[in-house]
Amino acid sequence: MDTAVARERVLDAAGTLFYGRGVQSVGMDEIRAASGVSLKRLYSLFPAKEQLVEAYLERRDTVWRGRLAQEVESRAHPEERLLAVFDHLHRWFGEPGFRGCAWINAHGELGASSARVAAQARAHKSVFRAYLGSLVADAGLPERLADQLALLAEGAMVTAGIFGTGEPALRAREAAQALVAAARA
């Protein structure tokens, strides 16, 4: 098996295990078993678990942002694009195996002890906030609205992860709609 295939298998296994059970509860031997990659090869790809966690979060970020953009770009009107963020969250929260935000979860587990994980979480959240900022600007609305929408989205993510329901996205969408209307007035 070549290096690229081995890396993908390890990341697939790590993604499933880390997201499903948490980073700290999953050992490298479990990832080896789930991926079918030898422990020696696994450690040659990722010399430390922290590096594997970082790669897992980077990969997940790319997929997550792509899915969000696809949902948002399916809407024609700039204000509908803003609300599509919350529609995306609602769909995501309803997926089988949804266990909250991977970056919030990883930061909660390792953010205090891993500068790399903390940096990944901050980077992901900063890029998300910047994306909201671009949607707000496209709609011709005040910049501060992006911070307010980011807080709504983040709160919905945490609440949905804890209670296992998509309802927080619907309530956050309602609040976002009210904020957009107030900003427009």
| H or E segment and range at residue 33 | helix 28-35
CATH 1.10.357.10 residue ranges in the chain? Answer: 50-184
- Beta-carbon count within 10 A of 172 CB: 25
The structure tokens 């953009």 sit at 69
| Dihedral of the alpha carbons of 171, 172, 174, 175, in degrees to the nearest 10 | 120
Reply yes or no on domain 50-184 having CATH 3.40.640.10: no
Q: Contact, 169 vs 93, CB < 8 A?
A: yes
pTM for this prediction: 0.94
CATH 1.10.10 residue ranges in the chain? Answer: 1-47
| Dihedral of the alpha carbons of 1, 53, 66, 130, in degrees to the nearest 10 | -150
What CATH number is given for 1-47 in this structure? 1.10.10
pLDDT of residue 6: 96
* Local mean pLDDT, 10-residue blocks, the chain (185 residues): 94 98 96 96 96 97 97 96 98 96 96 94 98 98 98 98 97 98 94
Q: Under 8 Å CB-to-CB from 122, ≥6 apart: which residues?
A: none
pLDDT of residue 1: 77
